[in-house]
């Protein structure tokens, strides 16, 4: 059983991603300042403990993995993009808590604008904070549409790990891999980058657009179970959709054979031109799409919940306020998207170039 600590937990999207991967986890604790998020987390993960404001956390209970969809407002294109000058800039605390909890892995998520805020200096600070706390890292940009979702929702994902996490191939300890920081472009859906600085603090000028190479030395292979589960995960839809044969907005030929498609097909006309995309996501999540609007003609929170790939009622059965439901859902992560991104990053971390 892998113990998890969740920072900026929201509705637990990254924890659900680990369930999609098949990882046997126990959420030991979580942190969020939103009362509605805390209510969802304490209800859905009954054995977990809420630690409150992460900036005030010290000496957190030990865990194997820390997750954090840390606030995107400082770097989002929709905001003022104050980056490091925003009071919600929390990456330093996230990395500190990961180190203090003895976590072997950090699983991070944010908007793609994290790479360009403050002229790139905000991203340099992300890499530096990881390095100063003893974490190496892999990152990528991945849209939700890549796992079949009917929306793009391009996001930045990062898999960070310590030497004790066993970043070599779990079945061949001591494997030497080459680390390559490639050109990073937030407009490319699959551009991937990596860095390793270990405990060094000389990453303050790291540039996502620079190019350099380093090499791992021989290390132990702790965390084998977690690596193997990340590497072994394969979405049921991957063979047809993730191969690139199916484009966003078009149906997969095999969808019509899926029980979810047959069960839902009669209602696709109400979505007009978006019907095929809706059918595809029904195929992926295994349940029919709710109506997009409610009886008053307003956006239906249950539809947003479905769009985010969540179990039925995950948020809407817990939170009463529609406004609070939409806020929590809008700030969340698509679990299927995160699961696939972390698998890609695990493969990248263990590959030999």
Taking only the tens place, the pLDDT of each residue in 106-123 is 999 988 878 776 677 778
Are 70 and 137 found together in one domain? yes
Residue-wise burial string across 12-30, b where 16 or more C-beta atoms lie within 10 A, e elsewhere: bbbbbbbebbebebebbbb
In Å, how far from its chain's centre is CA 238? Answer: 18
Q: What pLDDT score does 224 carry?
A: 60
Q: What pLDDT score does 310 carry?
A: 96
Q: How far is CA 278 from CA 70, 145, 283, 334, in A?
A: 29, 11, 9, 15
Are 225 and 243 found together in one domain? no
Are 184 and 296 found together in one domain? no
- The DSSP element (H or E) to which 179 belongs, if any, is strand 178-181
Q: What pLDDT score does 348 carry?
A: 83
In Å, how far from its chain's centre is CA 267? Answer: 31
Are 268 and 151 found together in one domain? no
Are 108 and 91 found together in one domain? yes
Q: Which residues of the chain have pLDDT under 70?
A: 71-89, 117-118, 164-225, 227-228, 231-263, 265-268, 352-353
- The DSSP element (H or E) to which 208 belongs, if any, is none
Tokens (6 digits) for 346: 């695990």
3-state helix, strand, coil in the chain (%, to 5): 40, 15, 45
Q: Which of 309, 311, 345 is nearest to 147 (CA)?
A: 309
Are 96 and 20 found together in one domain? yes
For Cα atoms 125, 126, 131, give the angle at the middle one, nearest 5 degrees.
90
Are 111 and 179 found together in one domain? yes
Are 295 and 343 found together in one domain? no
Q: How many domains does the chain have?
A: 2
Mean pLDDT over all residues of the chain? 74
Are 111 and 213 found together in one domain? yes
Are 308 and 204 found together in one domain? no
Bridge-based pairing of strands 49-50 and 105-111 is unpaired
Are 253 and 168 found together in one domain? no
- CATH of residue 141: 3.40.50.150
Asked if 308 and 119 count as a contact pair (C-beta separation under 8 A), the reply is: no
Q: What pLDDT score does 258 carry?
A: 53
Q: What pLDDT score does 192 carry?
A: 38
Are 160 and 84 found together in one domain? yes
Q: Residue 156 and residue 243: Cα distance in Å, rounded? A: 21
Q: What pLDDT score does 121 carry?
A: 76
348: left (phi over 0), alpha (psi -120 to 50) or beta: alpha
Q: Residue 290 and residue 45: Cα distance in Å, rounded? A: 25
Q: For residue 268, what are the domain limits?
A: 238-334
Q: Residue 95 and residue 204: Cα distance in Å, rounded? A: 15
**φ and ψ at residue 118, rounded to 5 degrees:** 55, 35
Q: Residue 192 and residue 180: Cα distance in Å, rounded? A: 10
Asked if 138 and 349 count as a contact pair (C-beta separation under 8 A), the reply is: yes
Q: What pLDDT score does 13 carry?
A: 96
């Amino acid at each position: 059983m892998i113990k998890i600590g969740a920072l900026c937990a929201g509705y637990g999207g990254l924890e659900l991603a680990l369930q999609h991967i098949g990882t046997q986890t126990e959420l030991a604790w979580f942190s969020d300042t939103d009362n509605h998020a805390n209510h969802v987390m304490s209800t859905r993960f009954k054995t977990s403990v809420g630690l409150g404001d992460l900036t005030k956390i010290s000496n957190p209970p030990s865990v194997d993995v820390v997750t954090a969809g840390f606030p995107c407002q400082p770097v989002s294109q929709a905001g003022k993009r104050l980056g490091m000058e925003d009071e919600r800039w929390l990456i330093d605390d996230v990395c500190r808590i990961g180190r203090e909890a003895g976590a072997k892995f950090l699983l991070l998520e944010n908007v793609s604008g994290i790479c360009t805020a403050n002229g790139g200096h905000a991203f340099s600070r992300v890499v530096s904070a990881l390095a100063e706390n003893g974490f190496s890292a892999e990152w990528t940009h991945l849209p939700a549409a890549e796992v079949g979702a009917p929306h793009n929702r391009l996001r930045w994902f990062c898999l960070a790990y310590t030497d004790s996490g066993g970043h070599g191939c779990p079945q061949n300890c001591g494997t030497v891999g080459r680390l390559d920081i490639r050109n990073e472009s937030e407009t490319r859906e699959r551009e991937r980058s990596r860095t390793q600085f270990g405990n060094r603090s000389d990453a303050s000028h790291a540039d996502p657009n620079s190019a350099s190479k380093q090499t791992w030395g021989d290390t132990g292979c702790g965390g084998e179970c977690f690596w193997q589960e990340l590497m072994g995960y394969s979405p049921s839809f991957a063979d047809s959709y993730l191969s690139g044969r199916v484009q966003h907005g078009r149906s997969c030929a095999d969808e019509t054979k899926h029980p979810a498609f047959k069960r839902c097909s009669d209602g696709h006309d109400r979505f007009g031109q978006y019907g095929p995309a809706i059918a595809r996501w029904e195929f992926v999540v295994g349940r029919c799409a709710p109506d997009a609007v409610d009886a008053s003609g307003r956006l239906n929170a249950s539809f947003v919940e479905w769009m985010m790939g969540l179990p039925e009622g995950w948020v809407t059965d817990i939170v009463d306020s529609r406004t609070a439901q939409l806020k929590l859902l809008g700030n969340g992560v698509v679990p299927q998207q995160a699961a696939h991104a972390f698998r890609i990053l695990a493969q990248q971390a263990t590959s030999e170039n």
